[in-house]
Amino acid sequence: MKYIERNRLPASRTVRVTAPVRIDFAGGWSDTPPICFKEGGTVLSAAVAVDGKRPIEVTVSSRSDRFVKVVSRDLGKRRILRSAAEIADHHDPSDWCCLVKSALAVTKFEFGSCGINIEISSGLPKGSGMGTSSILGAATIAALLGEVDIARVGALTLELEREMRTGGGWQDQFAGMSPGFNLMRSKPGKRQNIDIQRIVPSTAFMKEFRKRSLLYFTGQKRMARNVLRRVIGFYADNPHNFGRILIASMKRGAEDAAKAMSSGNVESFAKCVNDYWRDKKLLDAGSTNEKVDDMIDAIRPYVSAVSLAGAGGGGFMYILAKSTSDVQRVKKMLENHPSAPGSRFYDLSIDTEGIRLERL
């Protein structure tokens, strides 16, 4: 492989990159251009493993010919790219190969300089809201570069999303690459430099968080880019300055939630998560739907906080139950009355490593 300022991958070299996904607790949308260009962003997220696994995996290896073979393990698809023109055709997000072709483009891969195999895998359902596409893009870029420079890979992931014409902010890739809980900030301006502050929750907070947190897949899939377009449109129209007021509220909520975690105030943290969900719905009504509302209404007496991950509209739901007995009540209710085919609970754990690159 040949890149600007990079050497070719040595023969028979294999690079594997694995990463967690992320769950956002407060501040999302403030990281999204052009909002972050004007306001700066502040997001509180955590890198998480799901069912004890890090869902994102990318492997890049050399091959004897000059072609690029792409394999998606979870989709069961494969394709051989036989020309530079095929790689350049990377603007259709409905093409399953679009992400890999865009990663090749932003890393300045020169077709014909060598042959490579690229195998990608995402262990979560499509449209999960857990940042899977962006984190998979970041992992692919890191594998192609052969190194993990979080600032560089994060910036190139933003370029990748522009190439794919899906848009998106910076929180997903930075949260997925960084271990544990992180408060991520940027200042206004078109050059977004992300400051990542590791948050160390109190022992008391983590004890309650582990006992009372639930992760539930609603079984309802949505395209995040559709929600994104509506949010950006609402912010651009900015009726009565409401868009800016909501973004400011979300950013304050992220700061307050981080303080609550550090001080061990679980109920203050829960309030921040609930306020975040409220602000998401005010920013775009499509963040929720009737099935989600009915589900939340049913479990509301037993939960301290609830929010859909990411852009909302479906995907995964984060639930903080009021007690360990309420955890069982919520589980029983949603298992007896699933919201859609494929809906179920997943085990949630905090990932303490972040993105990892191995040379095999």
pLDDT tens digits for 340-353?
888 999 999 999 99
Kindly list the distances between the CA atom of residue 137 and the CA atoms of 21, 179, 202, 289, 328, in Å, as whole numbers in the listed order.
Answer: 12, 18, 33, 29, 36
Looking at residue 1, its pLDDT comes to: 40
Residue 25 lies in a domain: yes
Asked if pLDDT for residue 2 goes beyond 50, the answer is no
Residue 2 lies in a domain: no
Residue 8 lies in a domain: no
Asked if pLDDT for residue 3 goes beyond 50, the answer is no
Looking at residue 224, its pLDDT comes to: 67
pLDDT tens-digit series, residues 145-195 = 999 999 999 999 999 998 888 878 999 999 999 999 999 999 999 999 999
Q: Omega into 10 within 30° of 0, i.e. cis?
A: no
Whether residue 125 is found in the same domain as residue 209? no
305 in Cβ contact with 294 (< 8 Å)? no
360 in Cβ contact with 18 (< 8 Å)? no
Residue 153 lies in a domain: yes
Q: Which amino acid is at 281?
A: K
Looking at residue 12, its pLDDT comes to: 53
Residue 1 lies in a domain: no
Task: Find the angle CA(192)-CA(194)-CA(213) to the nearest 5 degrees.
Answer: 130
253 in Cβ contact with 279 (< 8 Å)? yes
Show which of 179, 198, 217 is a domain's final residue. Answer: 198
3-state SS, one letter per residue, for 42-105 = EEEEEEEEECCECCEEEEEEEECCCCEEEEECCCCEEEEECCHHHHHCCCCCCCCCHHHHHHHH
**In sequence order, what are the beta bridge partners of 185?**
42, 195
Residue 275 lies in a domain: yes
pLDDT tens-digit series, residues 263-293 = 999 999 999 999 999 999 999 988 999 999 9
CA distance 20 to 355: 7
Whether residue 34 is found in the same domain as residue 80? yes
Show which of 145, 172, 198 is a domain's final residue. Answer: 198
Task: Find the angle CA(122)-CA(120)-CA(110) to the nearest 5 degrees.
Answer: 145
Average pLDDT over residues 99-105: 95
CA distance 80 to 85: 13
Whether residue 49 is found in the same domain as residue 175? yes
Average pLDDT of the chain is 92
Whether residue 193 is found in the same domain as residue 224? no
**In sequence order, what are the beta bridge partners of 357?**
17
Which alpha helices (DSSP H) does the chain contain, by range? 35-39, 84-88, 98-106, 132-145, 150-164, 171-177, 203-212, 224-237, 242-263, 266-283, 290-299, 324-336
Show which of 162, 181, 198 is a domain's final residue. Answer: 198
pLDDT tens-digit series, residues 117-137 = 999 999 998 889 999 999 999
Radius of gyration of the chain (CA): 20
Q: Check which CATH number belongs to the domain holding 344 and give it.
A: 3.30.70.890
Whether residue 185 is found in the same domain as residue 251? no
Count up the domains in the chain and report the number: 2
Looking at residue 6, its pLDDT comes to: 44
Whether residue 140 is found in the same domain as residue 221? no
pLDDT band at 300 (very low <50, low <70, confident <90, very high): very high
The total number of residues written for the chain in this structure: 360
pLDDT tens-digit series, residues 35-76 = 999 999 999 999 999 999 999 999 999 999 999 999 999 999
Residue 102 lies in a domain: yes
Whether residue 173 is found in the same domain as residue 244? no
Whether residue 150 is found in the same domain as residue 28? yes
Looking at residue 4, its pLDDT comes to: 39
If DSSP codes are grouped into helix, strand and coil, which group holds residue 351?
coil
pLDDT tens-digit series, residues 184-233 = 999 999 999 999 999 999 999 999 999 999 999 998 876 666 788 889 98
Residue 177 lies in a domain: yes
Q: Check which CATH number belongs to the domain holding 175 and give it.
A: 3.30.230.10
pTM, whole model, 2 decimals?
0.92
Whether residue 257 is found in the same domain as residue 276? yes
Whether residue 177 is found in the same domain as residue 305? no
Give the residue from 130, 128, 121 showing the smallest Cα distance to 99.
121
Whether residue 167 is found in the same domain as residue 310? no
Whether residue 150 is found in the same domain as residue 282? no
Task: Sort 52 into a burial class: Cβ within 10 Å, 0-12 / 13-18 / 19+.
Answer: exposed
pLDDT tens-digit series, residues 319-345 = 999 999 999 999 999 999 998 888 999
Tokens 């997903």 label which residue? 172
Per the structure, the complete domain to which residue 34 belongs is given by 14-198
265 in Cβ contact with 305 (< 8 Å)? no
